Amino acid sequence: MPDSRSILKMPVPFRWGVATAAHQNEGDNTNNQWAAWERQEGRIQNGQLSGKATGWWDLAEAAADFDRAADLGLNSLRLSVEWSRIEPEEGVFSATALRRYHEMIGLLCERGLEPMVTLHHFTDPMWLAWLGGWENPRVGDYFGRFVARVVDALGDQVHIWCTINEPLVYAYSGYLEGSFPPGARSLPRASRVLRRMMLAHGRAYRVIHAAQNDAMVGIAHHMQVMLPAHPGWLLDRYATRLADHLANGTSLTAVLLGRLTPPIGWGETVPELIDSADYMGLNYYSTVRATFDPTRPAELFTRRFLDPHGELSELTKSGQHFSEINPRGMYLALKRLSAYKKPIYITENGLPDRLDAIRPRFIATHLAEAWRAIQEGADVRGYYHWTLVDNFEWSEGYNLKFGLFEMDPETRARTSRTSAAVYARIAQANGIPRQVMERVAAGAVPTYFAG
């Protein structure tokens, strides 16, 4: 879709931000299940611990990074609160921790950075883990109580809430694939956890709106854009539809229609879940290929993989590439979500790139595809790049570098990358200038610009 303008303008207003998470940035989080997991041999690449992370529990260090974000021209920042700090023991809430978060969010607001607050981003307090975590039938009660306390303490400064980050990733990685705590490999357990997370989201949505009628509440969904390995093959198209339902349809159907479909239900409708999203949160990293494979009955005869002929990102701990770099997947994801007639925030998008060789092009082309979806009616209201500063990337430790700013894990010193300057140009222009695209992705210019 060529365009004759010199800039691909985004709507006004538009939220330009970065996405972060508490455990990956605060440091000294020692009372959650991830801290215990890190101490088990072989769980984290090179035996690394999150340790001081990026040091954000020190408000001075957080403020310095917030200054960096503001200096880029950003106007929003997504962060999470750490449940184990706020409720260190079951039923015991820390006024000190809530005050610290209030101060941290105040620092954002002082810098013109509107906060988007995530209430659960992969970590659970140890007391909850000891009670069975998200397999405990009462987890929805516990989470609802926690959400009510947080909204009461922070609601005067926060208008946009994300209840749960990537529930499918949490359930899959912890209970089926085994790379997250508790390291289980059980489809029934994974299904049970995902079901309870969906139900807890519905309850949290109602709790937040009871306290804040005008709040924007949603969920951050990791969208796996599925493409058939062989589009002309009927069985591959079937495998793709099945894989798409499991990865995307289950969660989207739950939060929009309130219906629980396999593997988390048999079509029953939960009233509390109906229309429990004021916006759709999109975490997009990669497209995935799907093919029919008769040797995989346990995976419903479906095999998913990255296109080996595509452009692939850096290797993970397991020796697999983190993602296939496919900007068109952003367009496809946004078009899919736009069918639900909800505002959309791109709540995460990024890639590991320690040399910063690909990231400038990645940012410009993915945003250009978002612009293309907007031209066709997608109500996209913001973009949050993952992430501001290199941080602790879960089982990958400090080995995958997603930051606009490089961080030395030993000294925590920050160094601005070229991609930070590219993103700054885009944010400050509220769109992708042609000159930026010519510099970082010259081959893409004819796709979006005329002449």
pLDDT digits (tens, 9 = 90+) for 30-48: 999 999 999 999 999 999 9
Its sign, for the CA torsion 54, 52, 149, 143, is positive
Q: Is there a contact between 354 and 316 (Cβ–Cβ < 8 Å)?
A: no
pLDDT of residue 441: 98
Read off the pTM: 0.98
pLDDT of residue 4: 58
Pairing type for strands 302-305 and 114-118 reads unpaired
What distance in Å separates the CA atoms of residue 352 and residue 355, rounded to the nearest whole number?
9
Across the range 318-331, mean pLDDT stands at: 96
Angle in degrees, CA 74, 284, 335, rounded to 5: 100
Q: What digits encode the pLDDT tens for the residues 383-402?
A: 999 999 999 999 999 999 99
* CA-based nearest residue to 369, from 398, 330, 424: 330
pLDDT of residue 1: 55
Peptide bond into 297 cis (omega under 30): no
Chain-centre distance for alpha carbon 343: 17
Q: What digits encode the pLDDT tens for the residues 290-299?
A: 999 999 987 8
Across the range 55-59, mean pLDDT stands at: 98
Instruction: Locate all alpha helices (DSSP H) within 288-381, ordered by sequence.
Output: 328-338, 359-375
Cα atoms in the Cβ-side hemisphere of radius 13 Å centred on 42:
4
What distance in Å separates the CA atoms of residue 181 and residue 12, rounded to the nearest whole number?
41
Domains of the chain: 7-224+272-287+306-448 (3.20.20.80)
What distance in Å separates the CA atoms of residue 345 and residue 333, rounded to the nearest whole number?
12
Across the range 367-390, mean pLDDT stands at: 98
pLDDT at 3 over 60: no
pLDDT of residue 203: 98
pLDDT at 2 over 90: no
Pairing type for strands 268-269 and 259-260 reads antiparallel
pLDDT of residue 299: 84
Residues in the chain: 451
What distance in Å separates the CA atoms of residue 280 and residue 347, rounded to the nearest whole number?
9
* CA-based nearest residue to 76, from 386, 416, 384: 384
Beta bridge partners of 346: 282, 383
pLDDT of residue 409: 81
b/e code 374-394 from CB counts within 10 Å (16+ = b): beeebbbbbbbbbbbbbbbbb
Q: HEC states along 126-180?
A: HHHHHCCHHHCCCHHHHHHHHHHHHHHHHCCCCCEEEEEECHHHHHHHHHCCCCC
What distance in Å separates the CA atoms of residue 255 and residue 219, rounded to the nearest whole number?
8
Pairing type for strands 279-283 and 380-385 reads unpaired
What distance in Å separates the CA atoms of residue 128 and residue 34, rounded to the nearest whole number?
12
* CA-based nearest residue to 274, from 256, 291, 288, 290: 256
pLDDT at 89 over 90: yes
Q: Is there a contact between 17 and 428 (Cβ–Cβ < 8 Å)?
A: no
Beta bridge partners of 162: 118, 218
* CA-based nearest residue to 25, from 412, 299, 417: 412
Cα atoms in the Cβ-side hemisphere of radius 13 Å centred on 97:
19
Instruction: Locate all alpha helices (DSSP H) within 39-79, ordered by sequence.
Output: 59-71
What distance in Å separates the CA atoms of residue 193 and residue 135, rounded to the nearest whole number?
6
Pairing type for strands 114-118 and 76-80 reads parallel
Q: Is there a contact between 155 and 212 (Cβ–Cβ < 8 Å)?
A: yes
What's the whole-number average pLDDT of the chain? 97
pLDDT of residue 450: 79
